[in-house]
Amino acid sequence: MKTGLETLVLPAGEAGAEAAARTLAAGGLVAFPTETVYGLGADAANATAVAHIYSAKGRPAFNPLIAHVPDLAAARRIGRFDARALKLAEAFWPGPLTLVVPKTDDCPVADLATAGLDTVAIRIPAHPVAEAILRAFGGAVVAPSANISGHVSPTLAAHVESDLAGRIDLIIDGGPVAVGVESTIVGCLNAPMLLRPGGLSRERIEAVLGAPLARPPVEAESDDSQPLAPGMLASHYAPRAMVRLRAQDVAPGEALLAFGPDCLPGQEAAAAVMNLSPAADLDEAAANLFGYLRALDAKAPKAIAVMAIPEQDLGEAINDRLRRAAVAR
């Protein structure tokens, strides 16, 4: 975990936006105001920076994050919009609406930020400070609310400071936010579906669609295989290969997902070996997790053996995801 950082607080403005863009480009974490709540931003394409978001917030799980972009052209580079998604984007962006759409083939958003899903959540915030930062940076910025996990979302820079000072690089103070609740999330995979009520009312969305929003299936609440629902309900990336946890050796034909400096008996005959973090750094391991699972799965091994990972800091979320991958069939 990144702690003991000196957190700089800057007023919104041209110099603030430039400092924010530089910090993001260097892989740092920047809190900034949007019209809904303050967000904790990182370069969406930088998996290590994304891992630092989770450790700074103390998130219990790798919930997928929202990618923030300054305009529709940037949104269409990362997500595929059907006619209804486009209609909602044109009616409500910039604004407190997040659309979940299929990723483009060359979507630059890190697997960790989408929790390995083939979909991506996107929004254009309606806030001049957020817009200035996004334009100065030039890429997508993933940002959950800028609070410690489990605390209420911050509507003032001072809230961010009291939760995250010492854990993030920069806070841009743009005064109090206007909306105060998070964006409304609509899934646009087939029939538009309300995934999270928020700052934009259902009625206004339905008026534009000319039809009621679909409701997430009730079973979604107990069904981890439902990739539509937000929060803890979002499905992880489930590999095709069997996943064997806390492996202490490697069987012939298995691939190995290693962690730390040690080798396992049988490793030299493995179908493939990737090490999440030879230095046993849990943030680095988190950044590599989904990408490495995908890469090992692509070799079609008999199973993926995974070395034990300590149940501390981001290790808790890593193990949570690995356990789900191990039971998912």
Which among ligand TXA, Mg ion, none contacts residue 36 (Cβ within 5 to 8 A by kind)? ligand TXA
Please, what is the minimum distance in Å from the beta carbon of residue 206 to ligand TXA? 20
DSSP collapsed to 3 states, the chain: CCCCCCCEEEECCHHHHHHHHHHHHCCCCEEEECCCCEEEEEECCCHHHHHHHHHHHCCCCCCCCEEECCCHHHHHHHECCCHHHHHHHHHHCCCCEEEEEEECCCCCCCCCCCCCCCEEEEECCCCHHHHHHHHHHCCCEECCECCCCCCCCCCCHHHHHHHHCCCCCEEEECCCCCCCCCCEEEECCCCCEEEECCCCCHHHHHHHHCCCCECCCHHHHHCCCCCCCCHHHCCCCCCCCEEECCCCCCCCCCEEEECCCCCCCCHHHCCEEEECCCCCCHHHHHHHHHHHHHHHHHCCCCEEEECCCCCCCCHHHHHHHHHHHHHCC
Which among ligand TXA, Mg ion, none contacts residue 195 (Cβ within 5 to 8 A by kind)? ligand TXA
Residue 103 or 305: the one with the smaller Cβ distance to ligand TXA is: 103
- Residue 186 touches ligand TXA, criterion: CB under 6 A: no
Residue 107 or 241: the one with the smaller Cβ distance to ligand TXA is: 107
How do strand 184-187 and strand 193-196 relate by DSSP bridges? antiparallel
- Residue 145 touches ligand TXA, criterion: CB under 6 A: yes
Residue 56 or 293: the one with the smaller Cβ distance to Mg ion is: 56
Residue 196 or 204: the one with the smaller Cβ distance to ligand TXA is: 196
Q: What CA–CA distance (Å, rounded) separates 54 from 148?
A: 10
Please, what is the minimum distance in Å from the beta carbon of residue 145 to Mg ion? 3
Cβ contacts of 125 within 8 Å, gap of 6 or more: 34, 35, 36, 39, 68, 94, 95, 131, 134
- Residue 220 touches ligand TXA, criterion: CB under 6 A: no
Please, what is the minimum distance in Å from the beta carbon of residue 43 to ligand TXA? 15
Residue 151 or 324: the one with the smaller Cβ distance to Mg ion is: 151
- Residue 230 touches ligand TXA, criterion: CB under 6 A: yes
Applying CB under 5 A, which residues contact Mg ion? 145
- Show the site string, 13-52: x = touches ligand TXA by CB under 6 A, - = not: ---------------------x-xx-x-------------
- Residue 114 touches ligand TXA, criterion: CB under 6 A: yes
Please, what is the minimum distance in Å from the beta carbon of residue 34 to ligand TXA? 5
Residue 229 or 309: the one with the smaller Cβ distance to ligand TXA is: 229
- Show the site string, 124-143: x = touches ligand TXA by CB under 6 A, - = not: -x-----------------x
Please, what is the minimum distance in Å from the beta carbon of residue 248 to ligand TXA? 34
Q: Are 75 and 140 in contact (CB under 8 A)?
A: no
Output the CA–CA distances (angstroms, integers) from residue 320 to 19, 60, 127, 183, 238, in the order listed: 35, 9, 35, 27, 13
Residue 161 or 182: the one with the smaller Cβ distance to Mg ion is: 182
Residue 145 or 275: the one with the smaller Cβ distance to Mg ion is: 145
Identify the residue among 23, 46, 55, 183 touching ligand TXA (CB under 6 A).
183
- Residue 66 touches ligand TXA, criterion: CB under 6 A: yes
Q: Which residues bind ligand TXA (CB under 6 A)?
A: 34, 36-37, 39, 63-66, 98, 100, 114, 117, 119-121, 125, 143-145, 182-183, 185, 195-196, 230-231, 234
